[in-house]
Chains A and B, each alone.
Chain A
């Protein structure tokens, strides 16, 4: 791990806007991980994701002095990346209109490592749980991912997905409701509890 001289996000962003290359380097070191994980949900093409991340950083460096005040860095970078990947996918193929928004799919891979599962029965139950979650619509999966796996607020989710705050809140509500209908009550409550209390990185 590289040395991270800036200890809080505000100092980091402040130094970055003043043109500190060390701040830029730390930004990349810190956020390439979450950006890549998010990128992989939007596209299977690793090279494309890498290019888009690079371009995101080059862009924000170029416009650094004119960038607005960023309260939280992570949702801001995810927003830029989502837009970049959307543009890149559009360039590559023609998509039907309703799917043009940041690529056609959103995939959460809950694949369970065999070594962790004790028996057939347990594997079956985990498989079911995964199937429920992956059975959600693309947008619902994305909002669950941003909420519980990138730990964004509803406001930030709205920003990243380019939708209204109210739309984001409704969408999240719908996503959780449909899970509630699908999954036996006890499990879903615990799952929600797990999502809201444990940070997944």
Chain B
């Protein structure tokens, strides 16, 4: 309980409750707590009045800023930088690959870009948050809007936009996940995890970054990945590039990045075996799904009709899991689709060639 009877001028000045009262109604509201308290104590009322004058006098009267005003600055700025980057793609500062697009294509893209973005409410990019609460150790498969696949490990959380609208594809990871990123040289993919940013153009890699751990880890299976931390940037050191079969350990206390080589069998122990090509010759869909399930540690179930009599001849490389599934579904027939329910991938179908 505050002792209001011995309040000094400075006590009033720093009392947020008093400040609020002064600015909302002050002495004009006889029903307020402060009014009643001060009415009873003449000495305190004098001090409070002086404090009130000072608070009122030292406030700068600012016209409020509307959210439309802020939104319009954000929208205009983003539109400008996006169109600039399409007109004159920058020739790599630290970029992994330089862009090279024919001028005619660029013009075409700028045209459609403007139409595309004029309809977007840039600020309200919708984000989805998925947490894998599994205790069985199963991965949570996530299909991103660009065709990329994320397998979320237990206890981990991924926050991602339902649509990638910007010049980058950006997600936020707390914990551990395996990424298979759809190739798109024009739109880098950024994984933010605390002080570490992992940037790629199209590749597969594992990020292990639980907030409460001493070390963060990134392991690359295919493609190239670059990792940068706040500390590295402060020391003006550039980022560290990783190639396949390389592992980076970030020692968080020292903010030191250590790169090492990791053998394939070891990688396959800690992440899905997605690299080794898969060759299927007249293989039944059930068998293909069983193989994929083993490689990715995810569960499939077929709904609608049996696929026991359906078989397929195809070869898979390092395309993301959901790209592979798209190819399989298309091969089975036009009425076949996949969806994610819980941590299961459901293939719903009316059978082959239906």
Chain A residues with a Cβ under 8 A of chain B: 2-3, 5-6, 10-11, 14-15, 17-22, 24-25, 28-29, 32-33, 36-37, 40, 50, 53-54, 57-58, 61-62, 65-66, 69, 108-113, 115-118, 122, 125-126, 129-130, 145, 149, 187, 190-191, 193-195, 197-198, 200
Known contacts A2-B123, A58-B81, A108-B60: A14-B74 contact under CB 8 Å? no
In the complex, identify which listed stretch (B186-194, B300-308, B315-323) lies at the interface while the others stay far away.
Answer: B186-194
Q: Establish whether residues B194 and A11, one from each chain, have CB atoms under 8 Å apart when the complex forms.
A: yes
Q: Establish whether residues B197 and A14, one from each chain, have CB atoms under 8 Å apart when the complex forms.
A: yes
Known contacts A11-B230, A28-B77, A193-B13: A21-B53 contact under CB 8 Å? no
Chain B residues with a Cβ under 8 A of chain A: 9-10, 13-14, 19, 22-23, 26-28, 49-51, 53-63, 65, 69-70, 72-74, 76-78, 80-81, 84, 93-94, 122-124, 127, 159, 166-168, 170, 172, 188, 190, 192, 194-195, 197, 199, 228-230, 233-234, 236
Q: Establish whether residues B70 and A29, one from each chain, have CB atoms under 8 Å apart when the complex forms.
A: yes
Q: Establish whether residues A113 and B28, one from each chain, have CB atoms under 8 Å apart when the complex forms.
A: no
| The one of B54, B78, B195, B197 that contacts A194, using a Cβ cutoff of 8 Å | B54
Chain B residues positioned under 8 Å from A15 (CB to CB): 190, 192, 197
Q: Establish whether residues A10 and B230, one from each chain, have CB atoms under 8 Å apart when the complex forms.
A: yes
Q: Establish whether residues B166 and A21, one from each chain, have CB atoms under 8 Å apart when the complex forms.
A: yes
Q: Establish whether residues B73 and A32, one from each chain, have CB atoms under 8 Å apart when the complex forms.
A: yes
Q: Establish whether residues B70 and A118, one from each chain, have CB atoms under 8 Å apart when the complex forms.
A: no
23 A-B contacts, Cβ less than 8 Å apart?
Answer: A5-B172, A14-B230, A18-B228, A19-B190, A24-B77, A24-B81, A32-B70, A37-B60, A37-B65, A58-B77, A61-B81, A62-B84, A69-B233, A110-B59, A112-B61, A118-B28, A129-B53, A129-B57, A130-B57, A187-B54, A190-B13, A190-B54, A197-B13
CA distance A19 to B49 in the complex (A): 52
CA distance A128 to B296 in the complex (A): 75
Residue picked from A15, A17, A40, most chain B C-beta under 10 Å: A15
CA distance A69 to B233 in the complex (A): 8
Q: Establish whether residues A21 and B197, one from each chain, have CB atoms under 8 Å apart when the complex forms.
A: no
Q: How far is the CB of B117 from chain A (nearest CB, A)?
A: 12
Q: Establish whether residues B27 and A190, one from each chain, have CB atoms under 8 Å apart when the complex forms.
A: no
Chain B minimum-CB-distance residue to A197: B14
Known contacts A28-B74, A28-B77, A29-B74: A20-B168 contact under CB 8 Å? yes
Q: Establish whether residues A65 and B93, one from each chain, have CB atoms under 8 Å apart when the complex forms.
A: yes
CA distance A58 to B124 in the complex (A): 20
Chain B residues positioned under 8 Å from A17 (CB to CB): 233
Q: How far is the CB of B70 from chain A (nearest CB, A)?
A: 5
Q: How far is the CB of A198 from chain B (nearest CB, A)?
A: 6
Chain B residues positioned under 8 Å from A33 (CB to CB): 65, 70
Q: Establish whether residues A113 and B167, one from each chain, have CB atoms under 8 Å apart when the complex forms.
A: no
Chain A minimum-CB-distance residue to B161: A22
Chain B residues positioned under 8 Å from A21 (CB to CB): 78, 81, 166-168, 170
Q: Establish whether residues B9 and A28, one from each chain, have CB atoms under 8 Å apart when the complex forms.
A: no
CA distance A158 to B167 in the complex (A): 36
Q: Establish whether residues B53 and A126, one from each chain, have CB atoms under 8 Å apart when the complex forms.
A: yes
Q: How far is the CB of A55 from chain B (nearest CB, A)?
A: 9
